[in-house]
Amino acid sequence: MSPRPVLSQRVARFGTTVFSEFSALALKHQAVNLGQGFPDFDGPDDVKLAAWEAIQDGINQYAPGVGAKVLRDAIAEHSERFYGHRVDPDTMVSVTSGATEAILDVLLGLVDPGDEVVVFEPFYDSYDASIAFVGATPRYVPLRPPDAEHTAWWFDRDEVKAAFGPRTRLLILNTPHNPTGKVFTLEELEFLGNLCAEHDAKVLSDEVYEHIVFAPARHIRAATVPVLADRTVTVSSAGKSFSLTGWKIGWIIAPPPLRDAVQRAHQFVTFATASPFQVAMAAGLRMPDEYFQELTALYTEKRERLLTGLRAAGLTAFAPEGSYFILADISGYGFEDDVAFCRHLVTQVGVAAIPPSVFYGPEHRHLGQRFARFAFCKTEGVLDEAARRLRAKLPALAAAKR
Ligand SMILES: Cc1ncc(COP(=O)(O)O)c(C=O)c1O
């Protein structure tokens, strides 16, 4: 008898992620790492202190499955304060182990095998995996780069309409968007909401970058758009807003029937999430407006620093409206694709970036091969050193390939 395969069919198509490959290469070549999307600086002292105090105070056993009351209250207050979004903390909130768990819980709770899920490309990679885990079929719609007629990343409305059909159960939105930096406008959200209403589809709105938005762009909580209110599960987390990605505190906000569906999955995925960090995140969400303004100012400065550095090296870089990523056009360098460019960058130039074609389905992968993704959630010295290395090597590379 031939041995059974070790891997389930469910995971067989997943290799190791591109992040592992490029992190290992970055380490080996002592490259400046602008690949991975986590800050190389720490979160606020007050929030760290609140976690320490919670541990000292004995808040160390299982939290309630739906999340600690103090955190659910703080999530509701934060929603009202920033978006005028009224949320009942007892029936509309569940706390999860990061947004990543929340995304899987939403798919498990709302989507059946054989259903279709509409998702924009490039996508955050856990969407695709979570869609696969529940046996649903992704229907991809590519976001298009700015051009003569569009000042920001945009989508073709006919392409979105064509992706919807009788089996569409869910639309996954991500605003502000990783990795394009697109912030969806009210008009776009209304268009998508009307389509979802027409097809009775629900919406997962991933808003983890909600506090990293650059004026004049303005983050709109999708669930506050009337046509989306009853059908949207908002997903967010503490990682990006508080520079504490390792804490893995996330949450969903949804009308009670949708919250109930997600909670049914969550209770058997992780059941509950680290108790002391929940208490600390409640303190974080209750920080004064100045904290959030300073975070935006900090990232505005970092965005300018990296944009200037990339452009000085000759790259065409698109200014993001939100998130902490920049996509740069690498098509002028003569490489076969973005993976080849990023391999060269990390091994020969000493800068790690991520090839975004891995965030597309097979049909549209070529669209991502024109770009490289650079993260600017890094300290000034790191951003400056990356810019210096790029400036030293890229112009000659472009000239040689011409
Ligand atoms: C768009 C998007 N959603 C979700 C996540 C994951 O968030 P968390 O760390 O809270 O699981 C990330 C992290 O990079 C992200 O970029």
Q: Is 181 left (phi over 0), alpha (psi -120 to 50) or beta?
A: left
Where along the chain do its domains lie? 9-43+290-401, 45-287
Pocket test of ligand 1: the residue of 19, 36, 208 to mutate, having most ligand atoms within 8 Å of its CB, is 208
Asked if pLDDT for residue 401 goes beyond 80, the answer is no
Across 208-230, average pLDDT: 98
288-332, pLDDT tens digit by residue? 999 999 999 999 999 999 999 999 999 999 999 999 999 999 998
The secondary structure element, H or E, covering residue 398 is helix 380-401
Looking at residue 138, its pLDDT comes to 98
Across 329-349, average pLDDT: 94
Residues enclosing ligand 1, CB less than 6 A?
37, 98-100, 124, 174, 178, 206, 208, 237, 239, 245, 248, 250
102-143, pLDDT tens digit by residue? 999 999 999 999 999 999 999 999 999 999 999 999 999 999
Confidence of residue 15 (pLDDT cuts 50, 70, 90): confident
Higher pLDDT: 395 or 402? It is 395
Pocket test of ligand 1: the residue of 125, 235, 240, 251 to mutate, having most ligand atoms within 8 Å of its CB, is 240
Decide if 203 contacts 220 (C-beta within 8 A): no
Whole-number Å distance between alpha carbons of 286 and 72: 12
Mean pLDDT of the chain: 96
Which atom from ligand 1 is nearest to the alpha carbon of 206?
3
Which segment of 22-26, 173-177, 194-198, 382-386 scores lowest on mean pLDDT?
A: 22-26
Beta strand segments in 283-392, E: 316-317, 325-329, 351-352, 371-375
Confidence of residue 174 (pLDDT cuts 50, 70, 90): very high
Please tell me the distance between residue 219's alpha carbon and the centre of ligand 1 in angstroms.
17
Angle value at C-alpha 45, between 44 and 49, nearest 5 degrees = 125
Looking at residue 402, its pLDDT comes to 66
Whole-number Å distance between alpha carbons of 375 and 178: 10
Looking at residue 34, its pLDDT comes to 96
Share of the chain above pLDDT 70, in %: 100
Residue nearest to atom 7 of ligand 1 (CA): 99
- Specify whether domain 9-43+290-401 bears CATH 3.10.20.30: no
The architecture that CATH gives domain 45-287 is 3-Layer(aba) Sandwich (3.40)
Which atom from ligand 1 is nearest to the alpha carbon of 250?
10
